[in-house]
Amino acid sequence: QKEVEQDPGPLSVPEGAIVSLNCTYSNSAFQYFMWYRQYSRKGPELLMYTYSSGNKEDGRFTAQVDKSSKYISLFIRDSQPSDSATYLCAMSAGGGNQFYFGTGTSLTVIP
Amino acid sequence: GAVVSQHPSWVICKSGTSVKIECRSLDFQATTMFWYRQFPKQSLMLMATSNEGSKATYEQGVEKDKFLINHASLTLSTLTVTSAHPEDSSFYICSAPGTSGSYNEQFFGPGTRLTVL
């Protein structure tokens, strides 16, 4: 079983739609949860960073962590064509421990 | 802040040659940097942790004699792919912890695409 599971998509939505991206994990020691956006042939860009359970909102982006279900989500409201990218979840146990990445979900927002 | 650069962004080389990739933290110091490899449509796989002033730590299955890492200063780490072969063709990405010092806020470079002919 992989440490982190993420549906690779591809996911295609019309502009203005709400997008839901999800990851599940198996390691209960994970405490830090990140979402990265990666454009084609570019390095990942940190979008959201959450510690432990709960919600975090930043503009059109909301990250949710449910540690009891080992499930994290990223919601994008009012999606824009510029949001078209691959979204990677990442998590770690902290203390300098290794990051574990999902395989990434490819998102296309159609104008 | 927290900008990480990589050079070159794209390199094509012949099989058997060596290629050096640089990773720099532009506006902060990084005593630790991480090197990842990403194959098409796959996730990032950690190859090694680069430590300034000491030897790099390699992940299981990564040949340290093939992927030489040198953390020359607090702002520069280099990855040298020695005797590259076509199976080494991949996207190589480095990262560094952000200015908070937390390993959980890693900032990534733009990546280096290596193609070995």
pLDDT, position A8: 84
Residue ranges in chain B modelled with pLDDT below 50: none
Cα–Cα dist A75/A91, whole Å: 17
The number of C-beta contacts closer than 8 angstroms across A and B is 55
pLDDT, position A96: 63
10-residue mean pLDDT series, chain A (111 residues): 85 97 94 92 87 90 95 97 95 78 94 96
CB B107 within 8 A of CB B98: yes
Q: Which of B93, B55, B53 is nearest to B73 (CA)?
A: B53
CA distance B83 to chain A (A): 24
pLDDT, position B85: 96
Find the residue in B nearest to A44 (Cα).
B108
pLDDT, position A69: 94
pLDDT, position A26: 94
Beta bridge partners of B114: B11, B90
pLDDT, position A97: 65
pLDDT, position B102: 58
CB contacts, 8 Å: A98 with chain B:
46, 59
pLDDT, position A42: 86
pLDDT, position A61: 97
Find the residue in A nearest to B57 (Cα).
A98
